[in-house]
Amino acid sequence: MRMAELSRESGVPIATVKYYLREGLLHPGERTSPNQAHYDESHVRRLRLVRALLEVGGLSIASVRETLAAIDSHDRTHDVLGIVQHGLPLNRGSADEGTEQWARRRVEEVAAMRGWRLDLRQAPVEALVGVLCTLRNLGHARLVDALDTYAEAADRIAESDLEFVAGLPTTESIVESAVVGTVLGDAALVALRRIAQANISARRFGDERRG
């Protein structure tokens, strides 16, 4: 297919396809003339992956390039997913040293209880430490007691996530699904939590009479 057809097939504008080619995010097509090239389904799949990484995952161009290089080098799927996870944006709060040490100890305790191997330099770990610090600084440290329950739920969700992607045929499709599933799955979890809270609140407090 020519570039115009590739654009229609993938839903990516021609100008964006050319940009991805210049940035090395899309491999060149097979030259059929000095000004034309032929593209195939591998280009369509790569464009889908690049869009997922950039538009859904919010990764930087550099992180996308690193992810694609790992895929093309046939690195372990686990390592490729690690690169993607590292690139997904997460907010990190700030706190005094004492509060941060307390939060890190709590995270380490939960990880030990779940049997998780923990790299304290990982962005998700830093983000969780930041959340715990913020809770303590706001005077809501008691909410940290729910962390064990959250971790148990996270374990079950992660098992479900990985069970699904493990059945996909290629590393590219696994990475694309993992990015979309993580970002949109997070949004779905927030929505489900609020639906559940509304229903449990109705059961617990719905019959209360105001004084």
How confident is the model over 94-143, as pLDDT tens digits? 678 889 999 999 999 999 999 999 887 788 898 899 999 998 888 898 88
- Domains along the chain? 1-87+168-211 (1.10.1660.10), 90-165 (no CATH)
The whole-number pLDDT of residue 150 equals 94
Phi, psi of 157 (to 5 degrees): -65, -45
The whole-number pLDDT of residue 23 equals 93
How confident is the model over 18-56, as pLDDT tens digits? 999 999 999 999 988 888 899 999 999 999 889 888 888
Torsion over CA of 176, 131, 198 and 142, rounded to 10 degrees? 150
Is 157 a residue whose pLDDT tops 90? yes
How confident is the model over 165-200, as pLDDT tens digits? 888 988 888 988 888 888 888 889 999 999 999 999
The whole model's pTM is what? Answer: 0.72
Q: How far apart are CA 8 and CA 164, in angstroms?
A: 29
The model's confidence at residue 93, banded by pLDDT at 50, 70 and 90, is: low
